[in-house]
Amino acid sequence: MTDETHQFCKIFLCSPEPSAIMQALSELLGGVFLRRSMFLADATVDVLRNSDAGTSEDFVGWPTIVEIEATREATNVSIRNIAAEVLTAMWSCDVPAIASCSFEDELPWHGGMDRL
């Protein structure tokens, strides 16, 4: 079971195409999206349009968000690994991605901040 520090992670993507992101994440995580949500054993993964898109030149204004929420069965390691997989997959597809969560310092490139 996760502790309070690994319950949730939001990843901002500089990509205007949520459908392409969902397809990539389905292949990566081995799940299927129902509308905008994929239900895995350890997490629910949502791909959403950012309601604050365009309001800032910073990453918080990027158009797409991936939200990862831990299930009861999740561990800190499993949630960290899912977030790391999403980040590195996006970077390998040349999609800028930045994580905002309490454990971003445990993620590659400190959640992407060191890549900016």
Dump pLDDT digits (tens) for 4-50: 788 999 999 999 899 999 999 999 999 999 999 999 999 999 999 99
Whole-number Å distance between alpha carbons of 63 and 65: 7
Dump pLDDT digits (tens) for 77-97: 999 999 999 999 999 999 999
Sheet of 8-13: strands edge to edge?
33-34, 37-39, 43-49, 64-70, 8-13, 97-100
Quick check: 108 and 84 in contact, CB under 8 A? yes
Q: Please say whether the structural domain 4-111 has been given the CATH code 3.30.310.80.
A: yes
Q: Where are the domains of the chain?
A: 4-111
Dump pLDDT digits (tens) for 59-75: 999 999 999 999 999 99
